[in-house]
Amino acid sequence: MFAPFALLANFASEALLILASPAQAPLDPPLRLGHARFFDVQAHRGGRGNTVENTLPSFAWGLIDGASTLELDNGITKDGVVIVWHDEEITPAKCTDTAPVTPDDPDFPYVGKYIANLTLAQIKTLDCGAKRQYGYPMQLTYPGTRISTLQEVFDFAECADPTHQILWNIESKIDAEHPEKTKSVQDFVQKQNAIFSASPYVSSITYQSFDWRTLIAMKTVNPSILTSALIDNDTAIMSDNSTSPWLGGLRLDAFPGPTAAAQVAQAAYSIGADILSPAAESSSTPVPDPDMPGYITFTTRDMIEEAHRLGMLVKVWTVNRMNIVDQILDWKVDGIITDYPNVVRRVVKHRGLPAAPKYPKQRVLSSHEKSHHHPPTVRTLPSGLPSASFINLAARAPAGHGHEHGHGAAGPRSDVPPKWAGSVSRSSTLGLVSRTLVTAPTTGVFQNRLLHTSAVARDAPQVPDFSHYEAKSPDTNRGLAYLMIGSLGVLSASMAKSTVTEFLSTMAASADVLAMAKVELDLASIPEGKNVVIKWRGKPVFIRHRTQGEIAEARSEDWKSMRDPESDESRTKKPEWLVMLGVCTHLGCVPIGEAGDYGGWFCPCHGSHYDISGRIRKGPAPLNLEVPVHDFNDAEGKLVIG
């Protein structure tokens, strides 16, 4: 058992003593916050704007889009299982009933019921991936997707993220105003912490909640876990000015801050929160954008500054408008929770802030496929992959039952599709089924043929007789063949010579190019974050003025495990300047800049992807983009190639 209010009293009394002191120096931030190497772009519910929320597909795309943190919500079922879902009840806007768990289940239909009143088995029947939510017209749907348990999400992540780099922001969905709708604070803290503690991600988890009682309780059970205090104007102050049930018994006006915004930060600090997570805007704002007259913000500059002074980070939710992103970045916010992590990540990189690398798309989607849970009626191999169903060729239709064999034996299976023709075999060691199929239309004389191995003579097509055209002497045939082959060989050789000669002449460098043994480029003409392409010795050269974020991304990668292992330091003489030949190492095409799965270069010819250091990461290219001989003339601010 825990005593949250006693703990709260201790936190509050210590905080008031600190806050009342006349000289208030900034406090040291919690040491464990140092694990964040990048600006924290959090994929809200996995990235709700792009993919159906809080599902394995949304978390997969959150990784692919380069989120540094996956933000998600937890509920607890009637039988005590922690699941990943936002709402307290199953709403028809997001989920559809498929079938009851048992034929006479009195709880069916399940849509419209509270999660706390449904078992995991009942919840697993719901299709929560087929409906595109209102307000997110670009949201990708995944029909048939089931609600996952928290453990299933962790299992998927371990496959996609074997080095455990992703961060987590996990919310307890408790209704402080209507406790009958959800499980208790104690249930949430104990069951969530048990899963956290058993996971290799335990040190990467932030625990957040609007109900501050759960944050206090979690600190009691697990003092090392990071906690984040969620707040907005609806939970900060009640309409009748009564004490908010969301803040664990605190009143903001009890704190000495000069503004209400500063008091919010002080209240969060008093319960030991490591992070303050306020809403970006007030729920009562009449307009959605800070550039519009009448906009009402909830997060303010002084709220952020006070939180920083107290040693807390500030991560704002849910920010989907770029003008708000710009505003809070100017105020030095530490993280942004967004439905569009791919877009916010681009803004962060444009600002020169370090952004987390994107996860390899193929690996993540493969991990998602492995994590897909097949219906229990599908047989699976020990690997978890579905096994093809048997076709028992011994079970045949009765002889003469619409099948003309002519030998009196039992006919083929009557349930085999009429468009199939071929054979079926099964490996006795692997348990796999091999099936040879032909899907030609069933027309003409083949109308009634089903997996037959012997054709009736009258069904066989007639082959024309060409004997009238055959030469009478074998020597004549042989001589004509030699003549034709010889003539064709001479003609082919002549054409090949002409083609190769023309190709080599076009590829040869002209006299003016050969004379350009060295080229110089004024670096002042290339703004930060931009590419320039010049020609040197007949080849394109890519020159990129990299941002600090790009440098950090390039140097954070595990280069030793790459196909052509090279560190970013060995490929650059100055970290901000990347100089490479713009020739794909596969077949010599010219890659496209600021493209591909790794934010570097992409060769559209055969799909080779290079990262922001020009290293091959995916596709057929065997080597990194070549770095030519070059040097820097610092006195004149020039790059010298050659």
Confidence of residue 18 (pLDDT cuts 50, 70, 90): very low
Paired tokens of 494: 């002549």
Paired tokens of 197: 């503690």
| Amino acid 519: pLDDT | 87
393 pLDDT higher than 60: no
Segment (H or E) for 261? helix 260-270
Residues 447 and 441: their CA atoms lie apart, in Å, by: 9
| Amino acid 106: pLDDT | 97
Stated pTM of the model: 0.58
Identify the sign of the CA torsion 90, 120, 52, 99. Answer: negative
In angstroms, how far is the first alpha carbon of the chain from the final one?
A: 73
Choose, from 178, 350, 401, 606, the residue flagged as catalytic: 606
433 pLDDT higher than 80: no
Could you give the C-alpha distances from 400 to 133, 392, 403, 410, in angstroms and in order? 56, 20, 5, 8
Q: Give me the phi and psi of 15, to 5 degrees please.
A: -65, -40
324-331: Cβ within 8 A, 24+ apart: 324/280, 324/281, 324/289, 324/290, 327/290, 327/297, 328/280, 328/299, 328/304, 329/353, 331/299, 331/300, 331/301, 331/304
588 conformational bin, left if phi > 0, alpha if psi -120 to 50, beta if neither: left
Paired tokens of 502: 């023309």
pLDDT digits (tens, 9 = 90+) for 583-610: 999 888 888 888 888 989 888 777 899 9
| Amino acid 423: pLDDT | 38
Paired tokens of 83: 């699941």
Task: Give me the CATH topology for the region 515-641.
Answer: Rieske Iron-sulfur Protein (2.102.10)
For domain 4-19+38-371, the question of CATH label 3.60.15.10 is answered with no
- Residue spans of the domains in the chain: they are 4-19+38-371, 515-641
| Amino acid 503: pLDDT | 55
Segment (H or E) for 315? strand 313-316
248 conformational bin, left if phi > 0, alpha if psi -120 to 50, beta if neither: left
Is 606 assigned a catalytic role? yes
| Amino acid 319: pLDDT | 98
User: DSSP code of 297?
Assistant: B
The residues that bridge with 73 in the sheet, in sequence order, are: 171
pLDDT digits (tens, 9 = 90+) for 140-179: 999 999 999 999 999 999 999 999 999 999 999 999 999 9
pLDDT digits (tens, 9 = 90+) for 292-333: 999 999 999 999 999 999 999 999 999 999 999 999 999 999
pLDDT digits (tens, 9 = 90+) for 215-230: 999 999 999 999 999 9
Residues 83 and 428: their CA atoms lie apart, in Å, by: 40
pLDDT digits (tens, 9 = 90+) for 61-90: 999 999 999 999 999 999 999 999 999 999
Residues 563 and 386: their CA atoms lie apart, in Å, by: 32
375 pLDDT higher than 50: no
Residues 232, 279 contacting (CB under 8 angstroms): yes
Same fold, 4-19+38-371 and 515-641: no
